[in-house]
Amino acid sequence: MSKSAETEGALETRGIEQVPDHERTARPRQLFPTWVGANISVLLLTMGASLVVAYHLNFWQALIVAVAAPIVSYGLVGLIGIAGKRGGAPGMALSRAVFGQRGNLLPGSLIWVARWGWETINAVTGAYAMLTILDILFGIKANNVLDMVMLLAFVVATFAISGLGINAVQKCNKYATYFFGVFSVLVLGYLVVDTDWSKVMDHSAGSTASVITGVGMIAAGGVSWIPSAPDFTRYLPRTASSKAIVGTAVGGAGVVVLPMVLMGAVMAVSTPDLASASDPVSFLGEILPTWIAVPYLFIALIGMLLINSMSMYSAGFTAQTLGIKVPRHWAVSVNAVISLVFGGVLMLVATSFMGSFIAFLSLLAVAFSAWVGVFGADMLRRTEYDGRAMADTTRTSAYWYKGGFSPAAVAAWAVGLVSGLMFTTSDWFTGPLATNNVIGEYGLGWVATIVISGVLYLVLPKPATVTPPAADEIAGQPAATGV
């Protein structure tokens, strides 16, 4: 994908420094498997089941949710991904131009911590998939020791892929896309034959508010990828089509989210416990016949492995922007250890996996959305990024602004974050404004966060726009230290 790696799968040594133009040889179509791989998750099935069980939607309403959610969330992923081709650097490095060298530490720290939870959920789901496969094929029952062994194996595999870098991640995503296509045809064929469609179609419709809430819930998962979008587009040339960047993001996510959510909704009509199972992976292993359960679980395992690899890949960049002075592949190891520890706690202590996941997802989306609002609004006025200024973390940086902070960006981010939390409700936290209002009723706290932070940033006075050097100057500059 780039000349920085001699072969596919070779170790990527580039950190957060700007990619020179002569190395930016990727094509937008290469991003399609990336966003397919980012969504191959068993949790989409359980979330689809929740649309029927918790929100009381019928099949056609679930279809609306399954179509709208990836358009909303991955449309934003694609739009923010345009910054990657403009600046040739990861999202949290580009963010220095918006928030200032010190100011960027605030959203960067929160996003890094939020990724711990996301990676923990994925690691636990992957471990459950391995445990269920062992049970089905060999009759080996789970216990605390085996739980931790499988969790460790999953995290080590994740670290290996994400540590190698962009080429390894992209190659794995490409093959996972093929596997997912075969799996989808297999499961859809089974459901068409085995499902009592009269019972599915006779299910009564839910309220419009529930449809909107469902869109917000499923789209929230995609929101977590928005700050990472430039990480995967930074090897695109400046002339790459912006429409293609957005289209591949929406299309790649849509071909996974649509069938997975609908399959979950259809399954829930006959097995409503799917929506609340403490271990959704093994539960699915019980309700599906062995001939389809085993390949399904392998796909689930591969999908969660790739999702976690992509998340840890981006987390490595975030750690570097926070001042952790180690190579990217070692920065990844920090998140690997954290997900191992937190995953062990979740597997041994948590009583409701899906309840914990939905609660976490609602708070996670708000944490990411405050950054999205400010960064996205800044893209309306900034089309290029100064690579030398991003790499310079001292007072001489053009992105130092006032004491290392951009007052407008930091203030808009903080106000948007607090406001969004006030409109958010979950099992863990309910904001004071989350009831008796449209936003709270519809579960759109993360949408409110984006709007409030973005609008506030637009109206506040901002530091003078920095004019970056010419592209040929950037290409000839020495590599930055990545700190």
Q: Which of 334 and 278 is assigned the larger pLDDT? A: 334
Q: List, for residues 200-252, the tens digit of each pLDDT value.
A: 888 888 888 889 889 988 998 888 899 999 999 999 999 999 999 999 999 99
CA 66 from centre of chain: 17
The beta strands (E) that lie in 107-208 are given as: none
| Percentage, residues of the chain above pLDDT 70 | 84
d(CA 300, CA 185): 15
Instruction: Answer for the pair 170, 162: CB distance below 8 angstroms, yes or no.
Output: no
Rounded to two decimals, the pTM is 0.84
Contacts of 267 (CB under 8 A, 6+ apart): 45, 48, 49, 191, 274, 287
Q: List, for residues 266-296, the tens digit of each pLDDT value.
A: 888 878 876 666 666 666 667 777 777 787 7
Contacts of 436 (CB under 8 A, 6+ apart): none
Q: List, for residues 374-409, the tens digit of each pLDDT value.
A: 999 999 989 899 999 999 999 999 999 999 999 999
Q: How far is CA 422 from CA 112, 313, 364, 419, 446, in A?
A: 22, 31, 14, 5, 10
d(CA 366, CA 414): 11
Mean pLDDT in residue range 310-325: 82
Q: What is the model's pLDDT at position 6?
A: 36
Q: What phi and psi values does residue 479 have, to the nearest 5 degrees? A: -60, 140
Q: List, for residues 355-372, the tens digit of each pLDDT value.
A: 666 666 667 778 889 999
d(CA 455, CA 443): 20
pLDDT of residue 73 exceeding 50, the answer is: yes
